[in-house]
Structure 1
Amino acid sequence: MTVPITPLRPEECRPVPDAGLGALETEKGNLPLESVDVAAHVTGLVAGVEVVQTFRNAFDVSLEATYVFPLPPRAAVTAFRMEADDRVVDGVLKERGQARADYDQALAEGRRAAIAEEDRPDVFTIRVGNVVPGERVVIRLTLSQPLPYEDGAAEFRFPLVVAPRYIPGAPLPGPAAGGGVAPDTDAVPDASRITPPVLLPGFPYPVRLSLATTIDPAGLGLREVRSSLHEVGREGDTIRLRPGERLDRDFILRLAFDASSSLALVPDDAADTGSPGAGPADGSGPAEGRAKDTAEGTAEGVAKDATGSEGTFVLTLLPPQEDATRTASRDVVLLLDRSGSMTGWKMVAARRAAARIVDTLTRHDRFAVLSFDSVVERAFSGGLVDASDRNRYRAVEHLSRLDARGGTEMLAPLQEALRLLDGQDAPAPGAATGTDSGRFREDDDRPGESGLSREQARDRVLVLVTDGQVGNEDEILERIGARLHGIRVHTVGIDRAVNAGFLGRLALLGSGRCELVESEDRLDAAMEHIHRRIGSPLVTDVALKAEGMDLVADTVTHAGSLYPGVPLVVSGRYRGQRPAGALTVQGRTADGRPWEERIEGRPAHGPAARAVWARAHLRGLEDRYATGDHSLEQRIVDTSLRFGVLCRFTAFVAVDTRVTGEGGPAHRVIQPVEPPSGWEMPTAMPLMAAGAPMMAKMATFTTTGPPPGSAADRPVAAAPPPGAPPAPPFAAAPAPAPRRAARGFSIGRFLPHTGEGTAQVTDFDGIRPLLAEELTKLGQAESLPERERRRYLADLASRLRVVDQMVGGHPDLTVLAADLERAEWAEVSLDELWQRTTDLLTTLTGGSASAGSTSPASPGSTSPGSTSPASPSSTSPGSASGAEKGRRPFWKRS
């Protein structure tokens, strides 16, 4: 049968404001989740949070409602409660299989029940069953979470939406594990549990959101509170979200604190009383349980010893002052996600972040740049190349051409990066390279030709820039976890609803850092942090020596290394007759000298310290399980049950004794989630099954100006027929798309072609704004420590060489750039070189050139001493500062 489609003319359309395609309005409402209320109490540097979710049955039959939602990845969920019909039922933590069996049995018997399960470190599922028509059921979750701290500020981040994730692999036969839109696959066997349906943009009746944060500095000096992504109001010490906000992005508060070193000792009897987040232990030092809280061992040893009581310690140690020791040589592989979910501002921010990382490498380093979606592309053929000016410029040019496309196939590029860091130069089968990757050959310092002692002297670093939106986290960790020994992994998560749990776990396994970037304005500050991580740590081989107490074996979290601006936080279990004693932290500085610091312990109270440690310990055991050690399952369950903290192998279940109906629920609904803020959603989407016409599955992501042949060039598929498997959240490009010409700013256009000498591309007025900006930044950097100032001048050398080439060569700039390249040498006088740089830049931007300087003669060019201001017509087409004078930076334009 053929059904004609009659087009609707624009003049016949009367759009409803804020209404999405297929939106349905009923008097009773149409979604089970009515409201989400978050009440956080920040005490020092730990937050106690209560999350209240209200469900309402708007149907005429009994209902089971399912809600897939995020929580902070390092949060410890310690309590669960169901309230309905004036009845309160506290949840019981049980082994996950047993909890599900109890829940299913209760529903079959007509009793009301609820269950809370963890599917990922930051993705949880709540099911509420046998809700009678017209009834409201309230679910309460209690949790404690640490606040990461660095550079004088702590961060309270609370996620509010589970963003769509790319699901690789072949679909599995049989019933789905959950009610999500993606089928379970051999790579992600629980994909249907972590892919809730997505509301169409503009859905007019969102979930009512309330969020309030009360701040108690607990003796720390609170200087400032800033909200990053939301409009907030302040009433005394309480920060409240403005009414009308949607559940579409993370809530982020940054708190400027004055921190101090401390050792908090919390005995178990003190941890069993109090409220989450309360007590001095929560504010004793920065970042309880930061990204270094990996568990080193098993759960053995947690049993109480008859010789003394047990407790939890939290050690916070401020790093020593950074000295001028030269950064060790590094091998760096930069891995950039260019998949479809990175469309829009995220791709722009990712390119900028990657370029900033490349720009901070020095002549002592080697590096490689890999970009990936469904395929892997290299900026250079072969293995690692020297971080020379030429190679850095080529890498930045490669990055400037990248657009979002395809699917997030992350495992293959991670394996390729590890092969490079292991000294294996050849690309893996199927890997592609950049179009000009074979133009130059780098023969010096090749990984495969250098000796073992040379390799051992180099730091090996992997930097991943992505939004992390994948569903096969466990597969990735299992396949690469054992290969991360000796490789430091840093992750940069760019999204307003980032997969922080996975990125944090990956950085944790690699003893690195996880930086989260939720907006373009946040990028610069985050990249300053990651730059310091790539450099050598101040203190390595950190170990603890206890005095006056015994540390319980295999319970101390990973100590790692001390980095500039980042306090070290270590927690674990101790035994002693009373909460007293001291810890001496020992290690070695960057130049090999012994280093140690002793910190006296003090008694503290409250349950947060034990809960946060237990979650970190469980997370470490779970990561070891994911990497192949499946014998840990029972130990994980026992530890979770003993300390009352939810994990992936346990679940909270609340079962009412009252019978409310006959048999199980007659209708089941999975709550759709908001489209994440900042994502470009498809304009046409297949609709969900009958009964929820306003819901839709994501068929693909569109990109601005996609490469020919990419997924975005193909029309969005129509709704699948009934019974057909749902479409994957992202459409993956089957093959690398042909390249387009580079757009926008490209450093490479200012470089001379091989053998052609130096070509002028602008006159001196064209580079004057660039030099003025460099002078301003130089003044801002003058207060940095000596080591950082030396690094800054060395990086400035590469930028001045580009400016020098833009005008066809300027003697003073040429000489200065050459001298600045030696800024990191100890025998070079930093003050003298700094003053020389300031004087020359002042002269060149202030109206008079230094003696003997000349400008290349060309028709229409202006002498270096000219005081005429730069005009757009005299500025290089690629000069960002000149061409955009008076305009917003290109990455902020709409």
Structure 2
Amino acid sequence: MMNCCGLITPQKNPVPLKSIEVELEVKDHVATVVSTLNYENKEDKPIEAVFVFPLPGEAAVCHFSATIGQTQIVAEVKEKQEARQDYDDALSSGQQAFLLEESEQSPDIFSLSVGSLPPGESASIRLEYVTELAVQADEGLRFCLPAVLNPRYTPRDSEAPSVTVTSVTSSLIPYSLSFSARLSSPRPVSKVESTCSLEPLQYLNPEQTQATVKLAAGHKFDRDVELLIYYKDAHQPTAVVEAGQATAEPGTLMGDPVVMVSLYPEFPQSVMSSIDSCGEFVFLMDRSGSMACPISSQRHEETRISSARDTLLLLLKSLPMGCYFNIYSFGDSYEHIFPKSVEYNEKTMEEAQNKIKKMDADLGGTEILPSLKHIYKQRCIPNQPRQLFIFTDGEVSNTKEVLSLVKKNAGSHRCFSFGIGEGASSALINGFAKMGGGYAQFITGVDRMQPKVMQSLGFSLQPAVKDISVTWDLPKGISVKELSPPIVTIFQGQRSLLYGQLSGQSSKKTEGCVTVKYSLVGHRTKNKLSFSLKPAEDARLTVHRLAARTLIRSLEIEDQENNERNHEQVKKKVVDVSVQSGVSSAFTSFIAVNKDQNKPIEGPMLHRNIPTPCLMSCGGFMPMMAMCKSAPMNVVCCDEALDEHQYFSSEMECYDEGMEEDQELPPVGLKCDAIFAKGIDSPVQEKPKDPFLELVSLQKASGCWLLDLALAAALGKTSEEVEKAKPAKVNNEVWATVLALIWLHGLKKDGEEEWSLLARKAVSWLHAQKDPCVAEAVIAGNALLACSVEKEALGF
């Protein structure tokens, strides 16, 4: 008899991974992460354990070692095929071997193979990586330890090599996680927030520039471990020069000093007070099956697609008159509301609004590439800069192919991306923004999507920065080789990172300077930062590793763009940088071989896939286990509402207790996204109507509201109360618009970042009416809604 609740691997075998320990060290905006994975073989035969897991897409994996008993083996980086051959040769000769590989399709997926672990033997794997921390809308630095590897959807015509993942519900994960973080910065650490339960923040010095924090006991694998770190005066430009490796040859990346510059350009206030009223806004919505899942484990009542619909409505209402727009959605296929982008007016807005309300997660898989290709084929509208907004839960496997397309078209648009829910691919979401010159946001935990999306809309309405150039002023005898790709976009208050390799010497000046120049609304502007050239020692060579990762990523994108042209030449460059720096790449792997262990294997070696948490939970529907192969993706799922011994294939055939004990589960071909598209009922409750969104939905394209029953209901009043309170000489639409603005300012003040743009449009409409009774309307509106909003707050 098969016992569903005790099922760990497809063949019910014990899992050799026992625990994961993670230590995080954050210095200013750079993080070093050390993960230790402890394995133990409790079976009576040698095993090969395979663990497929996610890492941040921007991470530079720079150390990999294994400890067996008292023996430590440090891995070296080799060309991928050479490393695989060494691994196979080691196993066939009876040696223990360890192989760590980055996916060739997506840089945020790794597989770890622990080969020939004898019965009763334990092994400890140490994995280290460094990564930059992204600045969020509220100036917090975001660190995310992905605890989940959501099954990645692979296009039907993909020839990607197979990667197998076993996913089970978080309650069945048989290994534990411990997590601790140490923070240090030149500026005080003001607070740390998380989607997970933390122990209290502990300061290590009176200045509060050093602190520690730990994950509270009892953490379950039901979400990513996300930290938001806040410093006082976080937006300060900095520059760090790191000394090269003493054993490396001068003139090489690792042998020379490397400078990392962090700039925060500030725009003149006169520019920021004006917002562009033109532009072509293209919204691309993921409607794959997985968008029917709850947006987070803490908010089961709200699905990803429902939150995205609400957000799209808010965006639609906030667009300026005179712009152009269109809305696309994608899954196995793609749809668009209009054949091509149309002018934003009352008629087109109403048509789009009605279609948004009907959008659901019913388009199957996550094939984003065809929709992007179609969008890029559309001719740009003169004097209407294109802004592309992409909403997705980020479950695709052809990440590099998608990002290559975005980069090819970066000259015609800016791309703003939004990763919805836990497990969204950081490589994909950040890559969209980086390659498309835009900005990336992640919506997880208790985050509301609307504030983050509206901040990005504000960025898109900022005047485009043009003619960006970077110049270095260094002492005679010192030169710099830029390792970062050219800066393609600058937003107010957002960080720009630059890496440079310094060579040569100067006996006189010890200070350098970097200047970023750009054009903004016809005015030439510059931001300048001076820094000390005296290099600091860092045994981990953190800055060098990050610089190497930046260079490797640029070369890999270049390889994608060239297709077959110059492939071998670019690949050689990547391999050389990867091997020299000890940083992973798509063309290299970490390989470690225990040559002390040289006993022939007796009998066949068993293969064990380590399960990862699966977050594809939609209320009562919980996929029990997913074997995710790249083409196609295989899924076995179990519905909690059914008998625990029943299994379903893609045709929903039942496999029950009559199966033999050792019989493998049948292969199935249902893609994970398609599970939901097949129409499996979800008990997710319809959330109550939000008065704010009700009020927003009633606003007209011009910015005004109409005086009707729907408005009164949204304001929490009867139509009689609203009519009775209206001053006699006040126009109906003016009165309605004043009431809506008072409600927003008086009763929704904490959500101002969500409605500021549509309120600004409403105020502009009011000014255009030149109604002399506006002040009287404000007084009457305050009395009706029990508010005390000053007319100056409304722009009068």
- What TM bracket, shorter-length normalisation? 0.7 to 0.9
Match of 2:217 in 1: 243
Distance in 2 between residues matched to 1:592 and 1:608, nearest whole Å: 39
Counterpart contact for 1:698–1:728, Cα < 8 Å: yes
Check the 8 A contact 2:200/2:213 in 1, yes or no.
Answer: yes
Residue 776 (structure 1) shift: 5.4
One-letter amino acid of the counterpart of residue 698, structure 1: V
C-alpha spacing 1:84/1:202, structure 2 compared with 1 (3 Å): same
| Distance in 1, Cα, partners of 2:267 & 2:751 | 15
My pick for the range that moved more, 75-84 or 249-258, is 249-258
SS of corresponding position for 2:607: strand
Q: Distance in 2 between matches of 1:633 and 1:532?
A: 40
Distance in structure 1 (CA, Å) of the matches to 2:677 and 2:176: 43
Does residue 592 (structure 1) correspond to residue 522 (structure 2)? The answer is yes
**Equivalent residue for 1:532, pick from 453, 458, 465:** 458
Q: Match of 1:334?
A: 283
Alignment CA distance shift 1:792-1:340 (3 Å) = closer
Question: Partner residue of 1:161?
Answer: 148
| Residue identity in the other structure for 2:53 | F
- Given that 2:614 and 2:625 are in contact with CA atoms closer than 8 Å, whether structure 1 keeps it comes out as no
In 2, the alpha carbon distance for the partners of 1:837 and 1:576 equals 71
1:255 corresponding residue in structure 2? 229
Task: Show CA shifts across 1:756-802 (max 9, x none).
Answer: x98944584663569877435436999999x999845334x2xxxxx
Say whether residues 1:187 and 2:158 are aligned partners. Answer: yes
Q: Cα gap change, 1:749/1:659 in structure 2, threshold over 3 Å: closer, same or farther? A: closer
Matches within 5 A, 1:394-543: 394-405=351-362, 406-420=364-378, 422-423=379-380, 447=381, 455=382, 457-479=383-405, 481-537=407-463, 539-543=465-469
Letter in 2 for 1:269: G
**Mapped partners of 2:740, 2:434: distance in 1:** 37
1:221 aligned partner, one-letter code? P
Structure 2 residue aligned with 1:83: 67
The answer for the alignment partner of 1:367 in structure 2 is 325
| TM-score, length basis structure 2 | 0.78
C-alpha distance in structure 1 between counterparts of 2:197 and 2:755, whole Å = 36
Deviations 1:126-151 (A, max 9, x none): 11111111111100011111111244
Q: Which runs of 5+ in 2 are unaligned?
A: 204-210, 295-302, 642-647, 680-685, 718-735, 791-796
SS in 2 for 1:624: helix
Q: 1:726 to 1:841 in 2, by over 3 A?
A: same
Q: Residue 390 of structure 1: CA displacement?
A: 3.9
* 8 Å Cα contact 2:627-2:636 kept in structure 1: no
Find the aligned partners of 1:848 and 1:731 in 2 and give their Cα distance.
49
Change (3 A) 1:259 1:688: closer
Q: Is contact 1:20–1:200 with CA below 8 Å preserved after alignment?
A: no
Residue 848 of structure 1 deviates from its aligned partner by 13
> Which of residues 790, 794, 810 in structure 1 aligns to 2:760?
794
Deviations 1:541-598 (A, max 9, x none): 3211111156545523332232123122222323341563111211112x21111122
1:209 counterpart residue number: 177
> How big is each residue's C-alpha offset from its partner over 1:604-647, in whole Å with a ceiling of 9 and x where there is no partner?
52322221121122112212222334241111111112222111
How big is each residue's C-alpha offset from its partner over 1:394-452, in whole Å with a ceiling of 9 and x where there is no partner?
323322222212211211111222233x24xxxxxxxxxxxxxxxxxxxxxxx4xxxxx
- Tell me, in whole angstroms, the C-alpha distance in 2 between the residues paired with 1:713 and 1:228: 35
Report the counterpart of residue 95 of structure 1 in structure 2.
79
Relative distance call for 1:748 and 1:327 in structure 2 (3 A) is closer
Give, as a single letter, the amino acid of the residue that structure 1 aligns with 2:484.
V
What is the rounded CA distance, in whole Å, between the counterparts of 1:418 and 1:353 in structure 2?
A: 24
Contact kept in structure 2, 1:541 and 1:561, CA below 8 Å: no
| Residue number among 810, 815, 818 corresponding to 2:765 in the alignment | 818
Alpha-carbon deviation of 1:207?
A: 1.4
Aligned-pair CA distance for 1:42: 1.1
- Relative to 1, partners in 2 of residues 1:83 and 1:577: Cα closer, same or farther, differing over 3 Å? same
In the alignment, the residues of structure 1 paired with residue 22 and residue 348 of structure 2 have an alpha-carbon distance, to the nearest angstrom, of 49
Structure 1 residues 359 and 821: CA distance shift in structure 2, 3 A: farther
What corresponds to 2:208 in structure 1?
none
Residue matched to 2:98: 114
Identity of aligned residues (%): 23
- How has the CA–CA distance of structure 1 residues 760 and 788 changed in structure 2, closer, same or farther, with 3 Å as cutoff? closer
Which residue of structure 1 aligns with residue 44 of structure 2?
Answer: 60
3-state secondary structure, aligned to 2:562? coil
- Which of 131, 140, 147 is the aligned partner of 2:117? 131
Which residue does 2:546 correspond to in 1? Answer: 612
Aligned residue for 1:645? 583
CA distance in 2, matches of 1:684, 1:556: 42
Secondary structure of 1:152's partner?
coil
- Aligned match of 1:845 in 765, 772, 785? 785
Output the CA distance in 1 between the equivalents of 2:4 and 2:198: 24
**Among residues 741, 764, 767, which one is paired with 2:715 in the alignment?**
767
2:165 equivalent in structure 1: 196
Is this contact kept in 1: 2:284–2:388, CA < 8 A?
A: yes
Structure 1, residues 822-853: CA drift from partner, whole Å, max 9, x if none?
9xxxxx99xx9997885564254249999xxx
- 3-state DSSP of counterpart to 1:581: strand
CA-based RMSD: 4.3
Paired residue secondary structure (1:125): strand
> Partners of 1:848 and 1:107 in 2: how far apart?
76
Letter in 1 for 2:216: R
Change (3 A) 1:768 1:718: closer
CA contact (8 A) 2:41 2:47 kept: yes
Deviation at 1:483, TM superposition (A): 3.0
Q: How does 1:268-287 map to 2 (within 5 A)?
A: 268-269=243-244
- TM-score when scaled to structure 1? 0.70
SS of the counterpart of 2:394? Answer: coil
Q: In 2 relative to 1, CA 728–155 (structure 1 residues): closer, same or farther, beyond 3 Å?
A: same
- Give the Cα–Cα distance (whole angstroms) in 1 for the partners of residues 214 and 356 of structure 2: 40
User: Letter of the aligned partner of 2:511 in structure 1?
Assistant: A
Contact 1:417 1:462 in 2 (8 A): no
Change (3 A) 1:585 1:833: farther
Counterpart position of 1:577: 505
The AA in structure 2 aligned to 1:363 is: M
Equivalent position SS for 1:116: strand
Match of 2:186 in 1: 219
Counterpart in 1 of 2:33?
A: 49
- The aligned length equals 702
- Pair 1:484–1:539, CA change in 2 (3 A): closer
Task: Give the whole-Å Cα distance in 2 for the aligned partners of 1:540 and 1:736.
Answer: 47
- Cα distance per residue 1:652-690 (max 9 Å; x no partner): 11111112531486111111111127555855768989x
Q: CA deviation at 1:71?
A: 1.1
Q: Which residue of 1 aligns with 2:723?
A: none
Residues 148 and 492 from structure 1, CA distance in 2 versus in 1: closer, same or farther, beyond 3 angstroms? same
| Mapped contact 1:699–1:717 kept (Cα < 8 A) | no
Distance 1:491 1:417 in 2: 15
User: What are the equivalent positions in structure 2 for 1:493-892 lying under 5 Å apart?
Assistant: 493-537=419-463, 539-548=465-474, 552-553=480-481, 555-577=483-505, 580-589=511-520, 591-602=521-532, 603-605=534-536, 606=538, 607-629=541-563, 630=567, 631-663=569-601, 666-676=605-615, 682=621, 698-699=635-636, 716-718=652-654, 726-730=668-672, 732=674, 760-762=708-710, 764=712, 767-768=715-716, 774-775=741-742, 777-778=744-745, 791-795=757-761, 797=762, 818-819=765-766, 839=779, 841-846=781-786
Determine if contact 1:532/1:563 at 8 Å carries over to the other structure: no
Shift of 1:352: 2.3
